[in-house]
Structure 1
Amino acid sequence: MRIAVRARLLALILIALTTFAGLASPAEARRKGPGTVLIVTHTTGFRHASIEPAAAAIAAMAKEAGMLVETTDAPERFDRPLDNVRVIALVSTTTRRNQPETEWLTGARRTAFQSFMRRGGGVLAIHGAADSHYGWDWYGRMIGARFARHPKGTPTGTLRRSPTSHPAIDGLPTEFTLTDEWYWLADVDPTLKPLLTLSPTSIGEPDTGLQPIAWAHAFEGGRVFYTALGHPPEAWQDPVVLNHVRGGLLWAAGIAGKGRR
């Protein structure tokens, strides 16, 4: 009789331990498993020709890091759970500045995105992701700035890297040149510490001070990496751009960098 009682107690204890083990938070689940990089390519504004090569390059980076990949052009994806998503990659996901009806992160989708961030999710935001959702203040603060304008064409400009250490810039020279479409930004979070800056005079613009090009910041429990690089399709074959974005992805995923998960 006593043996039977002990057996039942042991069984109950094992069931309880199994149940509690299964109650890990989404953030804990991402830490324990590889997690998914959700690559979002939907646009209702200007459609960049670099979106497809950028998405392919980011997918390859994620797979190399041992993460799963899901690529979507459907805003309805945000109507479904994001529990297994580790990083949301916004690849030039534009809307139209003065047309709020073009915004596709609305209603419950906004709540889903905010919950993802507050659970410790990561965001990799590329180029035109700053040219998006002007009617949603939270989105602008999450990115860290908003697109204002860009000088004509894709001139070759001089970039300077921050003296700090970060996976997105480690290994880059103090000063180097790249050819891109250069964004001037508005509503820049004054607490941001740019990882890369552009010298305006290097592209024939007035000397208005170094322009921020890339940064990484903590936001509401999550991590956000933004780079304005990546406009030309050929940028996604440039080792400098690829290593820069790879470092940003790994940092957003909590795999690399200070305070990684």
Structure 2
Amino acid sequence: MDKGGRRTVLIVTHTTGYRHASIEPAAQAIAEMARQAGLEPEQVADPSRFDRPLDTVRLIAFVSTTTRRKDVSTEWLVGPRRDVLQAFVRGGGGVLGIHGAADSHYGWPWYGSMIGARFARHPAGTPEGELARTKGRHVALKGMPRRFRHVDEWYWFTDMAADIRPLVTLSARSIGEEGSDHHPVSWAREFEGGRVFYTSLGHTEAAWHDPVVLEHVRGGLLWAARYPARQ
């Protein structure tokens, strides 16, 4: 993919499953991140955008773009649209998956493989949990505290890709759950020629006013978009 003329960040907000109240604040925040980076946001709620070429698109942000798990008729990346998305990723395009993007397109195995995991369940409510950043270096961790607390809806996953290396983890015990103190929350990975950054943070509207979350997503966006070139 020649990214010289590809400056569009396509922000997709279409849902046929649960509709998060945080979608609009998230889309606005991501659009502002794109503008600040010198990129051009394009927000779409109509999936027919995938019926047209993505020749100006550098990164696609799927903002809690849910479908219904047990109803494949609710899936909207179908037919030639699948070919368009696959060609985009395989051509070096970037994908930013936010929260409910993992709760989507259960009838398309490739989509789940691209995101890196599928939503399985979440504990009730939005409890405050203890998060930790990993020791590695990544632009999505820039300025993030080693440990911090955050209120969100915490996703548990299934079908997690073997190459997932979390950037941020949750202490399950901190929200009263059994399990690891290193439960995956976000990750970044190369996939079939493209780059994918996913975070399960962002269920609440308040998350999109949290400087730590915003900088984390900004770093993920820039990395997935390979922008600037040194990322």
Identify the TM-score tier after normalising by the shorter chain. Answer: over 0.9
Query: Which one of the candidate residues 18, 21, 27 is aligned to 1:55?
Result: 27
Give the unaligned 5+ runs of structure 1: 1-26
Aligned-partner residue type, residue 139 of structure 2: P
C-alpha distance after superposition, 1:168-211 (max 9, x if no partner)? 11211211110000000111112110000100000011134521
Residues 1-261 of structure 1 aligned to structure 2 (within 5 Å): 27-28=1-2, 30=3, 32-33=4-5, 35-255=7-227, 260=231
1:34, distance to aligned residue in structure 2 (A): 5.5
Normalising by structure 2, what TM-score?
0.97
User: Within 1, Cα distance between the matches of 2:91 and 2:38?
Assistant: 21
Aligned identity (percent) is 62
Contact 2:169 / 2:181 at 8 angstroms: preserved in 1? no
Equivalent residue, structure 2, for 1:22: none
For 1:15, the equivalent position in structure 2 comes to: none
**Structure 2 counterpart of 1:131, which letter?**
D
Q: Deviation digits for residues 137-172 of structure 1, max 9, x if unmatched?
A: 000000000000000000000011110011111211
How much does 1:256 deviate? Answer: 5.1
Output one character per residue of 1:58-117: Cα deviation in whole Å (capped at 9) or x when no partner: 000000000011100001000000011000000000000000000000000000000000
When the two structures are superposed, what TM-score results if normalisation uses the length of structure 1? 0.86
Q: Greater helix share, 1 or 2? A: 1
Q: Which runs of 4+ in 1 moved over 6 A?
A: none
How many residues are aligned here?
Answer: 231
Q: Which residue of 2 aligns with 1:21?
A: none
The separation in 2 between residues aligned to 1:133 and 1:91, in whole angstroms, is 14
- Tell me the C-alpha RMSD between the 2 structures: 1.1
The residue number in structure 2 matching 1:6 is: none
Report the Cα distance in structure 1 between the residues aligned to 2:155 and 2:132, rounded to whole angstroms. Answer: 15
Q: Which runs of 5+ in 2 are unaligned?
A: none
Moved more, 200-209 or 229-238: 200-209
> Matched residue of 1:160: which SS?
strand
* Contact kept in structure 2, 1:34 and 1:66, CA below 8 Å: no
Paired AA for residue 154 in structure 1: T
Return the letter of the residue paired with 1:188.
Answer: M
**Would the alpha carbon gap of residues 114 and 34 (structure 1) be closer, same or farther in structure 2, given more than 3 Å must change?**
closer
